[in-house]
């Protein structure tokens, strides 16, 4: 098995996957945290502010790690699957 070499191929596709799918993933993770982790969030409460401000670091984390995928297709598949799982769980409740 040959080692993986990092390259700049597909950076636009990976960045768009990280930005679009990462934003939706960060929103769904914030919703799951608000629902399960904080026991429901009242509008304009401290928990509401915490959940709202947590979306940005989650997005930055996904966006900065999306370049570690081997291909654009793999980035979209993994992030799309994560979105389907998190949004499905959030909407099923």
pLDDT tens across 11-41, in order? 899 999 999 999 999 999 988 888 887 666 6
Instruction: Give the Cα separation of 21 and 62 in Å (integer).
Output: 9
Cα 70–Cα 73–Cα 74 angle in degrees, nearest 5: 50
pTM: 0.82
pLDDT of residue 74: 93
Mean pLDDT along residues 60-83: 93
Of 75, 69, 92, residue with least CA distance to 25: 75
Is residue 42 over pLDDT 80? no
More confident residue, 52 or 24: 24
């Amino acid at each position: 098995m040959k080692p993986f070499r990092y390259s700049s191929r597909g950076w636009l596709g990976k960045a768009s996957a990280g930005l679009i799918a990462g934003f939706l993933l960060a929103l769904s993770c914030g919703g799951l945290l608000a629902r399960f982790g904080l026991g429901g969030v009242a509008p304009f409460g401290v928990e509401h502010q915490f959940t709202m401000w947590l979306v940005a670091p989650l997005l930055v984390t996904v966006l900065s790690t999306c370049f570690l995928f081997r291909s654009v297709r793999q980035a979209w598949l993994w992030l799309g699957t994560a979105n389907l799982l998190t949004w499905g769980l959030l909407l099923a409740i």
